[in-house]
């Protein structure tokens, strides 16, 4: 009988974890990433803004953390710094993974 309970508990736990993570596409729109980087991360508002679609997730995550903390400062990061207070560390990770899946 216990053999049947354990797989069900494990399945329920994995479903709960998966459901708890926010949707990357939704966050991308809500946190206004779309305004400067385009709907799919490949058509930035200005020519010197980066095309972020398909970038490495770890790289994207670190750049967002550095911009938020002030460790990265350049002309383009100034605009993002004003927005990054809206994004917490967990959301940064979700956004990075989502943007990495976009096709350049």
Q: Hey, CA dihedral for 61, 63, 66, 69, is it positive or negative?
A: negative
Give the SS3 label for residue 31. coil
Work out how many domains the chain is built from and give that number.
1
Assign residue 75 the CATH number of its domain: 1.10.760.10
Q: Is residue 77 part of a domain?
A: yes
Contact between residue 54 and residue 103 where contact means Cβ atoms under 8 Å apart: yes
Confidence of residue 25 (pLDDT cuts 50, 70, 90): very high
Q: What angle do CA 95, 80, 68 make, to 5 degrees?
A: 75
How do residues 31-44 score in pLDDT, each as one tens digit? 999 999 999 999 99
Q: Percent of the chain beyond pLDDT 70? A: 81
Q: Is residue 12 part of a domain?
A: no
Q: Is 64 exposed, middle or buried (CB count within 10 Å of its CB: 0-12, 13-18, 19+)? A: buried
Q: Is residue 15 part of a domain?
A: no
Q: What is the mean pLDDT of residues 49-68?
A: 97
């Amino acid at each position: 009988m216990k053999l049947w309970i354990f797989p069900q508990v494990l399945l329920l736990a994995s479903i709960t974890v998966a459901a708890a993570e926010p949707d990357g596409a939704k966050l991308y729109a809500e946190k206004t990433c779309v305004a400067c980087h385009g709907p799919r991360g490949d058509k930035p508002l200005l020519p010197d803004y980066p095309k972020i679609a398909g970038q490495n997730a770890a790289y994207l995550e670190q750049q967002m953390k550095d911009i938020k903390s002030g460790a990265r400062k350049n002309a383009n990061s100034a605009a993002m710094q004003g927005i990054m207070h809206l994004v917490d560390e967990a959301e940064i990770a979700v956004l990075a993974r989502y943007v990495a899946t976009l096709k350049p």
